[in-house]
Amino acid sequence: MEQMLKGKVAVVTGGTRGIGYAIVKKYLEEGAVTVLCGSREETALKALDKLKAEMPGASVDAIWPDLSNRAAVSAEFLRIKEKYGSLDILANNAGISQNTSIFEYKDEDFDKILDLNIKAVYACSRAAAEIMKEQGGGVIINTSSIVSYNGQGSGCGYPASKFAVNGLTKSLSRELGRYNIRVNAVAPGVTRTDMVAVLPDEMIQPIIRNIPLGRMAEVEDIANAFLFLASDMASYVSGAILPVAGAVVI
């Protein structure tokens, strides 16, 4: 079967572990030159080595710009375009979460969450859109969350950032459609990654009991949605927030 992303060049932020790492693998399997973006040189190169060992011959590369620095992101994305000829797919996946009560929230932690979960999405989207506009099209996929529907009972900064991701996604899909740039988001439910591993069992078990499909998501479940939205199978899908959450209603 023809690879779904053959000839495409993709960037995946937060590609060193968890959902991002699974997206990088999926995009590589489907033939895209894929550049993973890590927060630090050390972790980015470690993930790169791991991928090269797991997928010999795959066209994978790594970068580690400060995602809160738009100029740094822009320069790095332009280098990718020069090196590989285009930048066709941007998966904005990097994100952090915190579960603190509002009464204990440190202001700097609130800023940190918004800086990565929304401001970096804006910075990366803008840098990529400038290239995509010039080359005649592209795809941006953001990472929302199922908590972007009704919030969550504590840790207000995280759902606030994901509501903002949905707003940015819908707005940019309208603004960038005329340039043949599709913009969508995936809203994962609770997914087995490091982000969830730190949560106490008494918090996780009731969540799983509430999921109609009876299990939490595996990273591959989420990566498959990122593949669909990146591919031509989704050629007329833009402005969608796709829940991948086992039919959970929260």
Residues catalogued as catalytic = 158
Task: Find the shortest distance in angstroms from Cβ 189 to ligand NAD.
Answer: 6
d(CA 170, CA 40): 30
Cβ atoms 47, 15 nearer than 8 A: yes
What character string, x for contact with ligand NAD (CB under 6 A) and - otherwise, covers 33-62?
-----xx-----------------------
65 binds ligand NAD (CB under 6 A): no
179-211: b (≥16 Cβ within 10 Å) or e? eebbbbbbbbbbbbbebbeeeeeeeeeeeeeeb
Give the single-character DSSP code of 217. Answer: B
Task: Find the shortest distance in angstroms from Cβ 208 to ligand NAD.
Answer: 12
140 binds ligand NAD (CB under 6 A): no
Q: What Å distances lie between residue 35 and 41, 83, 151, 171, 224, CA to CA?
A: 13, 11, 32, 26, 18
What character string, x for contact with ligand NAD (CB under 6 A) and - otherwise, covers 92-111?
-xxxxx--------------
Q: Which range in 11-19, 27-35, 52-60, 203-211 contacts ligand NAD by CB under 6 A? A: 11-19
Site residues, ligand NAD (CB under 6 A): 14, 16-20, 38-39, 67, 93-97, 116, 143, 145, 188, 190-191, 193-196
